[in-house]
Amino acid sequence: MARVSLSNVTKRYEDVVAVDEMNLDIKDGEFVCFVGPSGCGKSTTMETIAGLTKPSEGTIRIGETDVTKLPPKDRGVSMVFQNIALFPHMDVYENISFGLRLRKYDQDEIDRRVDNASEIVQLEGMLDREPNELSGGQQQRVAIARAIVRNPDVFLMDEPLANLDAKLRVHMRTELQRLHKQLDTTIIYVTHDQAEAMTMSDRIAVLNAGQLQQIDPPLVCYNEPANLFVAGFIGSPSMNFTDGELVDGGLTTEHYDIEFDTTELGISPGDEITAGVRPEDIYLTRNEDEVDSPSEVIEATTDVLEPMGDEIFVYLSLDGTSGSSMTSDEAAGASNQLLMSVDPDTEIDEDESVSIVLDRSKIHLFDTASGDALAHGIVDLSEAERTRAAAESRGQHE
């Protein structure tokens, strides 16, 4: 068990920067997920931690040791690979004990540890099988047993569930969480599946283009995304974004305006900002009473409905045109479209004119140019004035 810290780690290939000045501090026993789209540098970052790739710059520490120049075998890490990477010429026992045999443990110790590890991953009785006789899930469990048998300081998992079928993936997800609880070892987990990251990790590190965007507990990433990228990446379907402009006393976009107190934002009227709101924070006006601080009413036309069973995704068109052939993510990004989720028992039809409100406390504002978050939740202008008036009157009294 150990903490892992990266400082200024950069990995440059001939013409691309795969990892750009990464600074990370992972606590002892923490389960951290690296998420990001393909090619964002999450696997490269993990490879530098494992020692399979040498960083161009920066230092990596595991525990108190600077491991930047150590070969993988001396770093006290073990790794589970996306392609499982069991040695096909060895049986399960030989696969699990490979690292122990290389380290010249005595036979009794090896047997004891292999038994223990195979018990944890429920592989008893399969030790003499060949890897190609096992199912995908069993192979993955052998790979995990091979990783835990050495009692490493840090577990690295590079999309270990990506090659499994959907049902098995969900099952292995809970098994991994149980394993983490049982072993209490630092786990760094790479995935492109944000659902995996949300459900398993203590903290999520969101990466894009080789740069760390945000590292926070899952719900913080969800509720208070640090920038446009994190807001769009975390959450499925993704957040709705509308480009607009900051005016005195609110935000104006092509299709709707929202009034609020702009003084706290630290930017001046005329600046371009992007408003983001998640599908579940959009309400029909007839359900307005569910919202504490509803925004101004926005008129829209329903386009396509996607009943999911537990909710219905409604594609709303703000200018009457239909955004046909768009995926939900594209629709959420288009400024004349909003994606709303409503209760499954809501009576709603396609091509119906509806009035909607947004939950003010869940509207996110981003600086369009830099992408940085400006505010999470905005306050009603009238309410703001009231509180300011109250504050002023209090000030006068004193």
List of residues contacting other proteins (CB under 8 A): 50-52, 71-73, 77-79, 81-89, 98-99, 102-103, 130, 132, 146, 150, 156
Q: Based on CB atoms, which residue is closest to other proteins, 51 or 294? A: 51
Residue with tokens 């409905």: 305
At its nearest, how many Å lie between other proteins and the CB of residue 219?
A: 33
Q: Based on CB atoms, which residue is closest to other proteins, 188 or 246? A: 188
In the chain, the amino acid numbered 37 is P
Q: Which helix (H) or strand (E) holds 276?
A: strand 272-277
At its nearest, how many Å lie between other proteins and the CB of residue 353?
A: 54
Q: Based on CB atoms, which residue is closest to other proteins, 133 or 330? A: 133
Strands 31-35 and 203-208: parallel
- The set of residues, in sequence order, having a beta carbon less than 8 Å from that of 247 and lying 6+ positions away, is 262, 269, 270
Helix axes 107-120, 136-148, angle to 10 degrees: 130
Q: Which helix (H) or strand (E) holds 147?
A: helix 136-148
DSSP 238: P
At its nearest, how many Å lie between other proteins and the CB of residue 65?
A: 16
At its nearest, how many Å lie between other proteins and the CB of residue 359?
A: 46
Q: List the strands of the sheet with 272-277, edge to edge.
A: 257-259, 250-253, 240-247, 272-277, 364-367, 373-376
**Quick one: CA dihedral 226, 228, 230, 232, positive or negative?**
positive
No. of helices (H) and no. of strands (E), the chain: 10, 21
Q: Is 125 left (phi over 0), alpha (psi -120 to 50) or beta?
A: left
CA distance 250 to 344: 33
At its nearest, how many Å lie between other proteins and the CB of residue 102?
A: 4
Q: Based on CB atoms, which residue is closest to other proteins, 100 or 375? A: 100
Q: Based on CB atoms, which residue is closest to other proteins, 85 or 247? A: 85
At its nearest, how many Å lie between other proteins and the CB of residue 36?
A: 20
Q: Based on CB atoms, which residue is closest to other proteins, 43 or 317? A: 43
Q: Which helix (H) or strand (E) holds 9?
A: strand 4-12
CA distance 347 to 297: 19
User: In the numeric block, which tokens belong to residue 354?
Assistant: 């509806």
**Quick one: CA dihedral 62, 68, 70, 72, positive or negative?**
positive
Indicate the burial class of 168 (C-beta count within 10 angstroms; 0-12, 13-18, 19 or more). middle
At its nearest, how many Å lie between other proteins and the CB of residue 81?
A: 5
Q: Based on CB atoms, which residue is closest to other proteins, 87 or 135? A: 87
Q: Based on CB atoms, which residue is closest to other proteins, 22 or 77? A: 77
At its nearest, how many Å lie between other proteins and the CB of residue 88?
A: 6
Q: Based on CB atoms, which residue is closest to other proteins, 154 or 291? A: 154
| Contact indicator for 366, 273 with CB cutoff of 8 Å | yes
At its nearest, how many Å lie between other proteins and the CB of residue 72?
A: 5
